Chains A and B, each alone.
Chain A
Amino acid sequence: MWASPIRRREARDGIIFILPWFLGLLIFILGPFIAGFYYSLTEYDSLLPAQWLGAENYRRILFGDDKFWLAVFNTVWYVSAAVIPQVILGLLLAVLLNQKARGITVFRTVFFMPSIVPIVASVSLFIFILHDRFGLLNETLYGVFGIVGPNWLTSPDWSKPSLVLWSLWGIGGGMIIYLAGLQGIPQTLYEAAAIDGAGAIRCFWKITIPLISPTILFVVIMGIIGSFQIFTPVFLLGSANYGLAAAGPMDSLLFWVVYIYNQGFFYFRMGYASAIAWLLFILLVILTLVQFRLAGRWVYYEDEAAIR
């Protein structure tokens, strides 16, 4: 098959063109991937040689580390509180911005823009807006409604809701993906439904939802994977008043990846940190597989229907 000189030259060139990527795959992805699993079975401070521990790290994390379980609790709390609005409000926002109205593109820009503001900049802004005394939010709550607002960033009960507020501001990223899905739905379906006397809400449930269900699945999966791995905003909010390696008031912002960072780069327990990272990896693989399995029940693919 690769005998002719022309085909041989093509094959040689093809390998040369993908070579940078292939080397990168070995050096920066597969190598570290395997090395990370090895480190997770050792005690390693990155200076002295790694000491073999077997499954000891995993045993200690799962059965003897309260902080790990606190990090799991905090992360799961955030994932549930942030992904659900991202999926539902993002969709509703996209439906709103899919209306034919004058100046709609300006509104699309307004809703999309916050999602591209650099995270460090937007977190700085939110640290100011959520300040318990000078912050715009608490001032407005008190000045307009007479409510004394909570200490958003310094109370263990409110630090995670603050993070959710911040994440809601960036909902425009998911909205744009939905919007593309909505614009792929043929207008004729709605016209036909209207002739048959279907109202707007019925159309939404019977046409819009089924036809963009692949997009919803995508947003759900990416939202879950991304939120489980959230680091920068949590780290910034958590260390704002408490210093590096801190995790907010009473560790209320100790998240999974923040814990990996603290163990690895603050206490230099590279083996222990690798094991925590591998646990997250395993969980994410399981969650993604479950999502795809469940998806068969509610996601509708047009090409599939055509085959039937």
Chain B
Amino acid sequence: MLNIALGRFEGKSRKVAHASFVYFLLFGLGFLFAMPLVWLVSTSLKSNEQVGTWPPVWIPYPFVWQNYFVAWTSGRFGLYFFNTTLITVLATFGQVLTASMAAFGFARLRFPGRDVLFAVLLATMMLPFVVTMIPTFILFKNLGWLDSFKPLIVPYYFGGGAFFIFLLRQFFKTLPTELFEQATIDGASNYRIYFQILLPLSKPALSTVAIFGFLHHWNDFLAPLIYLNSPEKFTLALGLQQFIQRTEVRYQEMMAMALLMTIPVLMVFFFFQQYFIRGVVMSGIKG
């Protein structure tokens, strides 16, 4: 009797010990991971005197909203915001459109050489961007496209990236074949099937591609750095870089702009969390 009771007690206390250990780690590490972002928000609202003091000020008093205004106007951030949005929207649209077209071709239509081309597509996924970086720059230079948005947008109307085509093709393959056969029997052309059946049914997968495209273009630094020279064409990433390079840095303003650049990303993350996670996970699943 006593043994059984003890055993039960032991089992329970072990469970409690396990749970408290898990929570100890979760809170400890969670604090470390969350702290930089909290610090970002907090610093962006501080007065100059409260930046870099010890003990650290976590909740600024008063909130200096003016940092945002000063930083925004000092670096023409309104313009950068507009430029970044324009590039992101146009490039992402091209990516979703042409990647879904190619994926439809590979998933649903039979044409000579399809399997060879698909193997080529998979191979290009492994190609590092540095091998094509310089020749692509020379190509755009010869086209006279330097210092314009074209190098940041036009290439995305040509397939939109092998990985996205692969991802969409896998999704299109899961849709029931009967649907397409029935539509064909009813006399619908492949173009109609693509626009009226495939795209509406594939909203989740298309959203995943759109979100990843958005993230890529919004955050991209290297391509704008190489292709854009005039300050009035800068993106947010380049505008923020100028802050980093200033000799006299006002950190509260730098943090304010860093946060403004981050907020759209976090909003997309919170609104479309399930597509987000799916995309990351899909990237890790073998075909």
Residues of A within 8 A of B (CB): 2, 7, 9-18, 20-25, 27-29, 31-33, 35-36, 39, 46, 93, 96-97, 99, 101, 104, 107, 109-111, 113-114, 116-129, 131, 133-136, 139-140, 142-143, 169, 172-173, 176-177, 180-181, 214-215, 218-219, 225, 229, 231-232, 236, 239-240, 243-244, 257, 260, 264-265, 270, 273-274, 277-278, 280-281, 284, 288
Given A11-B111, A124-B243: A101 touches B19 (CB 8 Å cut-off): yes
Query: Smallest Cβ distance from A45 to chain B, in angstroms?
Result: 11
The distance from the CB of B40 to the nearest CB of chain A, in whole angstroms, is 5
Bound-state CA distance A195–B170 (Å) is 39
Asked whether B144 is an interface residue with its Cβ less than 8 Å from the other chain, the reply is no
Asked whether B110 is an interface residue with its Cβ less than 8 Å from the other chain, the reply is yes
CA distance A27 to B138 in the complex (A): 12
Which residues of chain B are near A218, meaning CB under 8 Å?
A: 284, 286
- B34's contact among A15, A39, A110, A142, by CB below 8 Å, is which? A110
User: Contact partner of A232 among B98, B126, B221, B277, CB < 8 A?
Assistant: B221
Task: Judge if B179 is at the interface, Cβ distance under 8 Å.
Answer: no
Main secondary structure of the interface of B (DSSP, over half): helix
Cβ B110 vs Cβ A14 within 8 A = yes
Q: Contacting chain A: which of B2-10, B62-70, B154-162, B202-210?
A: B154-162
By beta carbon, the residue of chain B nearest A143 is: B54
**A111-B30, A125-B39 given; A139·B129 CB < 8 A:** no
A20: which of B56, B102, B236, B258 is its contact (CB, 8 Å)? Answer: B102
Look across to chain B and name the residue whose beta carbon is closest to the beta carbon of A26.
B158
Write the chain B residue with the least CB distance to A27.
B158
Least Cβ–Cβ distance between B286 and chain A, in angstroms: 6
Does B47 belong to the interface (CB within 8 Å)? Answer: no
B155: contacting residue among A2, A24, A104, A231, CB under 8 A: A24
Q: Beyond A118-B219, A128-B255: 10 further Cβ-contacts under 8 Å? A: A11-B109, A21-B121, A21-B158, A28-B132, A32-B135, A96-B22, A125-B255, A134-B251, A136-B39, A236-B241
Q: Are A113 and B243 in contact (CB under 8 A)?
A: no
Q: Is A169 a contact partner of B111 (Cβ separation < 8 A)?
A: no
B53–chain A nearest beta-carbon distance, Å: 8
The dominant DSSP class at the A interface is helix
Hey, which bits of chain B sit against chain A, CB under 8 A? Answer: 19, 22-23, 25-26, 29-30, 33-34, 36-37, 39-40, 43, 51-52, 54-56, 98-99, 101-102, 104-106, 109-112, 114, 117, 120-121, 124, 126-139, 141, 155, 157-160, 165, 189-191, 194, 215, 218-219, 221-222, 226, 236-237, 240-241, 243-245, 251, 254-255, 257-259, 261-262, 265-266, 269, 273, 276-277, 280-281, 283-286
Q: How far is the CA of A129 from the CA of B35 in the complex (A)?
A: 11
Given A46-B138, A125-B36, A181-B284, the answer on whether A2 and B112 have CB atoms closer than 8 Å is yes
Contact B36 A169 (CB under 8 A): yes
Known contacts A28-B155, A121-B259, A215-B284: A114-B33 contact under CB 8 Å: yes
Q: Are B30 and A110 in contact, CB atoms less than 8 angstroms apart?
A: yes
